[in-house]
Structure 1
Amino acid sequence: MNLIPKQSSLQDRDYVHKLRMSMEKNGLLNERGELDLSSCSDREFLEIFFLEEINNEDRGKPLSPQTLKAYRTDAQTLLSFMEDYQITFKGIGFPEVRMYNRYINEKYAARSAARKLNFFRRLLAFGYKTHFYKGPLYEWIKKPAIKKGHYSDLLSETQTYSQVRELSQQDAEELIGLFSKLVKQKAYRVQRTKRNELLGHLLYKTGMRASEIVSLNWGSFRYNRRGEVNIDVIGKGNKQRTIPVIDDRFLNALFEYRRSFEESAEIDPYDRSPLFFSIRTYYNEETRFHKKRMSYKNIYHIVKTAAKYAEKNPHISPHWFRHTYITTLLENDVPLSVVKQLAGHEDISTTNVYLERIEKEKLHDHLSHVRFGV
């Protein structure tokens, strides 16, 4: 369902009139001029919820593909549950809310459960605001407590201390050292090897999210006034930040990767071609490679394969490198405010969680000079 006629625009003097007429025609406005979905079908309600609450272009902050995928997954979880128990959206009441709440808490780890329940809460709140539901059913949702910080939810019965989702420097270096050795294809073996080497540097030495790495262009790299190379990153909520390329090995890996494709290694901030792309033997008159942007799934597969090959924790994912980067900076006395900026954290309290954990692990050091005299 499209709430706004396609032919309408803000420059059209009759925009508001056409919008009102379209919504009244679809029975979406009540006598007070409010968005009223009380007469909508289940399908229409879900479509309008995604249109207005999830995919709303007026927010000015486009959602990342990973975020959109998470919302679709959460919606599918809810729809599958409703199908199994023969529940309709219109038929949701207090018993159904509490039953779904319990189902999610029992089936999923705390972080996943909290996200899925937050999606459900948003849907119910939207339904109440638009008169699809007569009461604030969302108030009955109880999300699980989540341990502050980057801890794993996967605790065995004998564990009393949560495992941190990050790597030791030794493990991180071992894993990225394996990236280039994972290449088995004969076609473009050199290019794939150089790509994996550069990917390792980006994961370990920038703290970028995998979604940010796949969004990089060749033009994301530039020289600053001091002749040093920086990376301009577009992060969550379209927020920009700058990350330095910190050593010669990193820089050499970048240039060698470019040269392996017989492309210029001259940094060009206006070049919008993707840094990482699928290497396939497609040919046409204009280009040698099919430059479809590399996906998150590709990076995830490389990290998972390396972890399996090295017989490391099977739950290791690309995001563990981000946590490792932040911890490494703080352990090397990089100021908290600088780490916050490099990590792209919205609030410094998020960065401070890492520092608090580091200080906890230094308790023996803090007390090593104390003598009790007995």
Structure 2
Amino acid sequence: MQWKAYLKSYHDYLRLERGMSPNTLASYRFDLERLCAFLAAHHPEVSPLTITSQHIQAFVYAVSKELNARSQARLISGLKSFFNYLLVENLRGDSPMELIEAPRLGRKLPDTLSTVEIDRLIAAIDLSKPEGERNRTMLEVLYGCGLRVSELVTLKISDIFADEGFLKVTGKGNKQRFVPLATFTLQCIERYRREVRVHVPIQKGFEDTLFLNRRGKALTRAMIFTIIKDLALAIHLQKKISPHTFRHSFATHLLENGADLRAIQMMLGHESITTTEVYVHLDRRHLTQIMHQFHPRKRLK
């Protein structure tokens, strides 16, 4: 019962003060509930205030057999966050995570699509079906604006500022940003609204939701994954892709065409530019060409 009370207050802190998304909250809660289950089975007397690094070490060792390095790192990060919260609230004088080290992770470069592959995926959409125009518009928005899938499914009509050419996006932690809206992408959105969305029986509460399923409600994240997976199979694409692949491709193609890294950071909604810098490593050949083209020492005298 003691753990339950502390976990609830921590959850409220993350939701109200940190503004974390439901998906992130669920991930943190899952890891902490896993710790509670381990303690209930092996050390039922241990509370959040008396747990030691030895207990944590035993738990991490027990679950490490079924987790890869990246999942272990995420687990340890979540536990550190919880015990840091107890420190901030003066509920503990130290953290049992101080001696716990996460596994070292190599930099994982995101998968990307070429412009030809993106065109092939979109061309594979069956526009004779009612959902065809909607699906094409969703992929154009994913690629044209670099959105996360959670941002796409929650996009509102009122977020579209057509005259100004911007899209208001609500990202992680309810942080809002404005992303430039290309004329072509806007035309796709207007065509979908004019020719498809007007014929959908919209359910109460979803009047402002841009992309709707045939029942008039918001699409789920899983549905977007399924749509993209089916298109990849249809064109025999030999890559494992997801909605996030379009976001990676958006950033990579901007960088390859000379866009400023800081501008890409703002459009993606990255809190730190170090997150955006992963795209610098995607195409070293392109960067070499840029250096040889623009650096003042490009020619020998």
TM-score bucket (shorter structure): 0.7 to 0.9
Residues 272 and 333 from structure 1, CA distance in 2 versus in 1: closer, same or farther, beyond 3 angstroms? farther
Cα distance, 1:217 vs structure 2: 0.9
> What secondary structure is seen at the aligned counterpart in 1 of 2:168?
strand
Match of 1:141 in 2: 100
Distance, in Å, in 1 between the alignment partners of 2:155 and 2:212 is: 10
**Equivalent position of 1:359 in the other structure:** 284
2:144–2:182 CA contact under 8 A, matched in 1: yes
Work out which of the residue numbers 259, 263, 283 in structure 1 matches 2:198. Answer: 263
**Deviation for aligned residue 1:99:** 2.2
1:331: Cα distance to partner?
0.3
SS at match of 2:161: strand
Check conservation: 1:232, 1:241, Cα contact below 8 A. Answer: yes
| C-alpha contact (below 8 Å) 1:211/1:296 kept by paired residues | yes
How far does the alpha carbon of each residue in 1:142-179 deviate from its partner, in whole angstroms, 9 at most, with x for none? Answer: 1122334xx2xxxxxxxxxxx5422233333323333x
Question: What is the Cα deviation at residue 117 of structure 1?
Answer: 1.2
Q: Sequence identity of aligned pairs in percent?
A: 27
**1:1-374 correspondence runs (5 A):** 41-51=2-12, 53-55=13-15, 57=16, 59=17, 62-82=19-39, 85-88=41-44, 89-90=46-47, 92-127=51-86, 135-148=94-107, 151=108, 164-178=110-124, 180-181=125-126, 190-224=129-163, 229-248=165-184, 250-261=185-196, 263=198, 273-280=208-215, 291-312=216-237, 315-359=240-284, 362-363=287-288
Q: What 5-or-longer segments of structure 1 have no aligned partner?
A: 1-39, 152-162, 184-188, 265-270, 281-290
**Matched residue type, 1:50:** H
The whole-number CA distance in structure 1 between the counterparts of 2:261 and 2:104 is 27
Amino acid at match of 1:167: L
* Preserved CA contact (<8 Å) 2:159 2:168: yes
Residue type of the partner of 2:176?
Answer: Q
Residue 8 of structure 2 aligns with an amino acid whose one-letter code is E
CA–CA separation in structure 1 for the residues paired with 2:94 and 2:6: 16
State the AA in 2 paired with 1:44: A
**Larger gyration radius, structure 1 or structure 2:** 1
Return the alpha-carbon distance in structure 2 between the equivalents of residues 366 and 334 of structure 1: 14
Return the structure number with greater helix share.
2
Say whether the 8 Å CA contact 1:97–1:140 is kept in structure 2.
Answer: no
Whether the 8 Å CA contact 2:262–2:273 is kept in 1: the answer is yes
The whole-number CA distance in structure 2 between the counterparts of 1:334 and 1:364 is 15
The separation in 2 between residues aligned to 1:346 and 1:365, in whole angstroms, is: 27
Q: Note closer, same or farther for the CA distance 1:72–1:277 as it changes in structure 2 (3 Å cut).
A: farther
Checking the alignment, whether the CA contact within 8 Å between 2:110 and 2:245 is kept in structure 1 is no
Residue 299 of structure 1 contacts residue 318 of structure 1 at CA under 8 Å; is this kept in 2?
yes
Where does residue 29 of structure 1 map in the other structure? none
Aligned-pair RMSD on alpha carbons? Answer: 3.4
Separation of aligned partners in 2, 1:213 and 1:298: 12
Q: How far apart, CA to CA, are the structure 1 residues paired with 2:178 and 2:271?
A: 15
Letter aligned with residue 117 of structure 2: D
The answer to whether the 8 Å contact 1:98/1:140 transfers is no
TM-score by length of 2: 0.80
| Structure 2 residue identity aligned to 1:48 | S
Report which stretch shifted further, 359-368 or 205-214: 359-368
Change (3 A) 1:365 1:229: closer
Structure number with higher relative contact order (C-alpha < 8 Å, ≥ 6 residues apart): 2
CA distance in 1, matches of 2:9, 2:26: 18
**Structure-2 change in CA distance of 1:307 and 1:87 (3 Å):** farther
* Consecutive unaligned residues in structure 2, runs of 5 or more: 200-205
Letter in 1 for 2:130: Q
Query: Structure 1 residues 122 and 272 mapped into 2: Cα distance closer, same or farther (>3 Å)?
Result: same
Residue 362 (structure 1) shift: 4.8
